[in-house]
Amino acid sequence: MGSEQPTLCYASRYSVGIVESVAIDENGADTPEQLLKFVPKERPRSYAPLLEEAGEAIIAKIQKAADLSNENCDRAMKLAHKLSMQLRAAEDRINQLEAEVELFRNRAVRAERWLQTIQKEIEEKLIAPRSANATEQTSLPQDAEL
């Protein structure tokens, strides 16, 4: 009552092969050797080690690429942090210098006001009385002659 089943392919970590199943009679008298025959027998060489090596090489290259990518990312992050800190320090220095510039502008404006005040006082208290005295002195000799 046994019927022949279709050919099956399988792959495992260690080998690749094709299995042809053979019908078992109802009594189960067939031996396990008859149960599984490996086909084709003309190719005894297995490609599994080559496939395994190729897969491992690919995974190793992917891992190396991931490691290099992570290292590059870490370097970029460190550089970005360093540049960010330098930028923050430069901005702080700019703010400090701008505050100093404003302070010196205010001082210059106050100094100009003081200079104008001093100039006005000099003109009012020293120059104006001298010119008035000079006018009186020049007018006195003319009065004396009369």
Cβ atoms within 10 Å of 18's Cβ, excluding its own: 13
Please report the pLDDT score of residue 11 as a whole number.
45
Helices (H) and strands (E) in the chain, counts: 3, 3
End-to-end Cα spacing for the chain: 171
65-84 pLDDT, tens per residue?
999 999 999 999 999 999 99
The pTM of the full predicted model, rounded to 2 decimals, is 0.45
Give residue for tokens 């396990």: 32
Question: For strand 16-21 and strand 36-39, is the pairing parallel, antiparallel, or unpaired?
Answer: antiparallel
DSSP reduced 3-state for 65: helix
Tens digit of pLDDT per residue, the chain (146 long)? 444 444 444 444 444 444 444 444 445 454 455 555 555 555 556 778 889 999 999 999 999 999 999 999 999 999 999 999 999 999 999 999 999 999 999 999 999 999 999 999 999 888 877 777 777 666 655 554 55
